[in-house]
Structure formats: structure tokens, C-alpha cells
């Protein structure tokens, strides 16, 4: 009787160890399995580089998106799932300052107000697999 109980327990332990490994092997780890594309280029304002801020991408279909920081030369890069996105550009978030001096001040930004709102920016992008160049030239 004791041997049958031990065999039963060993079998359950093996199933408990093997089953999760098999599931991970079939499903995969970490990846969503969805097609992706890289999106990059430069943000300019009246043909001059915007040197700080973020480019935001939002998919209404998925209710999700992503963003990319703009570097000192106006360039940005990110990876997104394929599909349609509305785009908007925002100034960088304010940097926390000394609490004695009050709330942090927002940086002076070259980004016109209309481009800061996804509904008003007029910017959109369809991401395809592979490389997607998406230059953004903001105008008054």
C-alpha cells in the first residue's frame, strides 16, 4: 500500500514539473507572437530639430500603444506591433525640483499645442513589419 502511494506521489510530482515546462515550450516565453515593426526618424518644428520631448503612438483598435523619447538631434526610435496608430508629440515631463522652491516648472517647448493632443494632432501612422521611417514636421 505504501509503495502504491509513493508511486502515485512521484507521478504527481513529475506531472507537476513536466506540465509547466511543456506549456512554456508550446506557448513560448516573453514574446507576444504579434508582428512588429521598428519606427524611427526625426521630429522637426518648422524644419528645425525638436531636441526634447516624446512621440506617443496609440492604437484605438487595441487600446494600447507606446512612446519614444526624442534625443538632442530630434531623432526617436521604438518598436510597435503592426497596425494603425494616432500620434502626438509632447514636451518632456517636468523634472522634480527642490520642494522648498515649489512645483517644478515645465520646460520651454517648441511643440505647438495642437500636436500635444492625439485627437487634434492630425498625425497618424500605419506600422508594417520591418522598418518604418516616420518623419514628423510640426508646423504652426
9 part of a folded domain: no
Quick check: is 15 in a domain?
no
Q: Kind and range of the H or E element at 14?
A: helix 2-27
Domain limits at 48?
A: 38-94+105-138
Kindly report, residue by residue over 11-30, the tens digit of the pLDDT.
Answer: 454 455 444 444 344 334 44
Per-residue cell: 15: 506531472
Confidence of residue 132 (pLDDT cuts 50, 70, 90): very high
Kindly state the cell numbers that stand for 82: 503592426
Residue 5 in any domain: the answer is: no
pLDDT, tens only, 34-80? 999 999 999 999 999 999 999 999 999 999 999 999 999 999 999 99
Whether 120 is covered by a domain: the verdict is: yes
What pLDDT is recorded for position 26?
39
Total number of domains in the chain: 1
Residue 60, domain member (yes or no): yes
**Considering the domain boundaries, does residue 25 fall inside one?**
no
CATH code of 67's domain: 2.60.40.10
* pTM of the complete model: 0.71
Would residue 118 count as lying in a domain?
yes
- Contact assessment for residue 13 and residue 108, using Cβ atoms and an 8 Å cutoff: no
Q: What is the pLDDT of residue 31?
A: 53
pLDDT level of residue 94 (50, 70, 90 thresholds): confident
78 is a domain residue: yes
Q: How many CB atoms neighbour CB 40 within 10 A? A: 16
Amino acid at each position: 500500500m505504501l509503495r502504491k502511494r509513493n508511486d502515485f506521489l512521484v507521478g504527481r510530482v513529475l506531472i507537476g514539473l513536466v506540465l509547466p515546462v511543456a506549456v512554456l515550450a508550446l506557448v513560448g516565453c516573453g514574446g507576444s507572437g504579434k508582428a512588429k515593426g521598428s519606427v524611427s526618424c526625426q521630429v522637426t518644428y518648422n524644419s528645425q530639430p525638436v531636441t526634447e520631448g516624446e512621440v506617443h503612438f496609440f492604437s484605438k483598435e487595441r487600446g494600447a500603444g507606446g512612446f519614444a523619447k526624442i534625443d538632442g538631434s530630434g531623432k526617436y526610435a521604438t518598436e510597435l506591433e503592426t497596425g494603425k496608430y494616432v500620434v502626438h508629440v509632447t514636451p518632456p515631463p517636468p523634472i522634480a525640483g527642490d520642494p522648498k522652491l515649489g512645483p517644478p516648472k515645465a520646460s520651454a517647448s517648441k511643440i505647438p499645442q495642437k500636436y500635444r493632443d492625439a485627437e487634434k494632432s492630425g498625425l497618424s501612422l500605419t506600422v508594417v513589419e520591418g522598418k518604418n521611417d516616420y518623419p514628423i514636421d510640426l508646423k504652426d
